[in-house]
Amino acid sequence: MTMKNGAHVHILHNPKAGEQDSTRADLIRLVEASGFSCDYASVKENGWHRFKPHTSLLIVVGGDGTVRAVAQRTLKSMHLAKPLPLLLLPAGTANNLAATLGISSQTSDLPSRLSGLRQRPVDVGTISGFGKTSFFLEGAGSGLFPVLMRTMKSDRREFSTREEELEVARKKLYDVAKAHEATYAELMIDGKVYQGNFLLVEILNTQSIGPNLQLAPDADPGDGVFHVAMLRGENREAFLAYLAGAKLTNGKMDDNRGKASLPWDLVEMKEETHIRSESTLLHVDDKLVECRENSLLRIGIRKGVLDMVL
């Protein structure tokens, strides 16, 4: 990607995300010092998604939810022949997409990233079967993670650091995994049928999900392939032991025991996948969705429709 000096950049900032201390003035100064004109908008204000027609790049400063909201707007923008490229400055709690892409969270790295503008295409998932078609950047699924999300949403405490919030979420995931009842599901993945009682079923575009738990260590958001993680009920104890044994590396729940030790099945998905499940609570990225029992869900891949600046 090449942009001439004077090209126009639009900054979309969630000033409440994570612990980042970048101010409006800091961000504008860094962009303009790199030779670009820019506008700024807080995503907490009305009209944040309106940007000038000659805009060449969107800088997104925030967490996974902010990235999803911006991507949704750009994908729906009918006046754009192609969604504008996104430069992410991760500032949330989990930042699973940015972590998978190896994107820096340091504001001080912004000038060098604007200078190089290394760009790569990123896939987007689609899911339908609950009244509308939605999309996801990280993943969608049923079982433990939507229950964990609902549990965390009911926790009203204020967290002083992202590490504290991640640690609380990991402990709650362990508790949820101990108590959650496995539910029956049938999946058709690239022509092959998988069925059984599952504690979780996750369609993944990123390596990690939720509180930075790596479910798909080899996932690449730009390779046109998703990964499907399926944790069977009979592997509950192995999963609990895995959670207890996983270590934290740079704030990320990681494990060095190798893929052979993973207590869940992991299957590549290259074509549309169909799922019928007794679960009625789903998540699509950070959104909770209710559906009817045994609804037919269709999950597809839109290959390379978003461009991310690394």
Please list the residue range(s) of the chain that carry CATH number 2.60.200.40.
126-304
Structure confidence at residue 117 (pLDDT)? 87
DSSP helix/strand/coil, 90 = strand
CATH code, 8-117: 3.40.50.10330
Residue 215, Cβ density class (10 Å: 0-12 exposed, 13-18 middle, ≥19 buried): buried
Positive or negative: CA dihedral 257, 206, 270, 183: positive
Please list the residue range(s) of the chain that carry CATH number 3.40.50.10330.
8-117
- Name the least confident of 48-52, 208-212, 297-301: 48-52
pTM across the whole model: 0.92
Q: What confidence tier does 22 reach under pLDDT thresholds 50, 70, 90? A: confident
Does domain 126-304 correspond to CATH entry 2.60.200.40? yes
State percent of the chain over pLDDT 90.
76
Helix (H) or strand (E) run with residue 162 in it:
helix 162-179
Residue 254 above 80 pLDDT? Answer: no
Residue 144 CA to residue 182 CA, distance in Å, equals 9
